[in-house]
Structure 1
Amino acid sequence: MAMQFLCSTHRRQLKRCTLVAENRWDEWMEAGRQAFAQRDWQAALKYLGCSFELSEMLLEGDDLPALSNIDRYMVSGHFLAECFGRCQDRCLQRHCLLAVHRHLLNMLRSPQGRGLSLKRNVEISLQMLSRHYQSAGEEAMLQDCYEESMRLLKHRCH
């Protein structure tokens, strides 16, 4: 299930210029953080969702994505997940957390993954997943994911 927050016009405009897209990500994340701090969950979802979708776009088509774009993706995905949790939507919260983690693991599996330093990203992602699954009383469901993540880190990271 792909979540869409951006309209097709904004999506086309932002795909044209990476610098503009990165600036919009910064602006929307800041607006999302402010709305989150004020507990305005609907506004936070809007801004954080747009940031997350935009960060996915920044990663598209990059054989060797910049670490800054990977960090953008992870931060906005985790922030969006936290916002869904505050809105009591644990299903979408889990979806975001798993989407981020799957993307990181897929990068590690790729030939280009050898050139990326993703160890800390994967560790943070596992911490976020662990916290989520523990709060749901489902820690055992995370075991296979944890083992696969550790195996990939061991073989792919120095």
Structure 2
Amino acid sequence: MFTMQRLDASEIVRQEKVHKLLEHVSQYCSNKKALNIGAAAFTTTLNILSNVIFSRDLSQYDSVSSQGFKDAVCGLMELSGNPNISDFFPILKPFDLQGFLRRSNVYGKKLLSIFDMIIDERIQERSSSSYDGDHSSKSRDLLDLLLDLSMKDESEISPNDMR
């Protein structure tokens, strides 16, 4: 998936996403509005990765519809960056004093439900079209490769593994 040919093929997508970022920044500049550059860069990076994996954007600039996904990813990143007292005192781990386990489960379930929806949509697309495993009309992404592997008889990849 990450061979030089695949990375070269995704160059157009990366350029398109950076161009959208520049347009977004330019629009804010022309309107003389403050811009959260960190959030804009996060959206761009997320969309580059999601296009390689799913061939679709998972986030939009200034969009409420994609806010749930962004919140879940940001929440998990924040949790992973904060010190957990249980790491220093393992005997306290079962008590989850800071609520890390509970909050990470909430964020994780949100992300997994989004991934499940995307996987189910792709499976529906494949079953409704005459999918021959070639996808010559569009570039194949990581999800296509995983679905192809899971369809093989000797495959050990389950839907849970794909998630």
**TM norm structure 2:** 0.29
Higher relative contact order, chain-length normalized (CA < 8 Å, sep 6+): 2
Higher helix proportion: 1
**TM norm structure 1:** 0.29
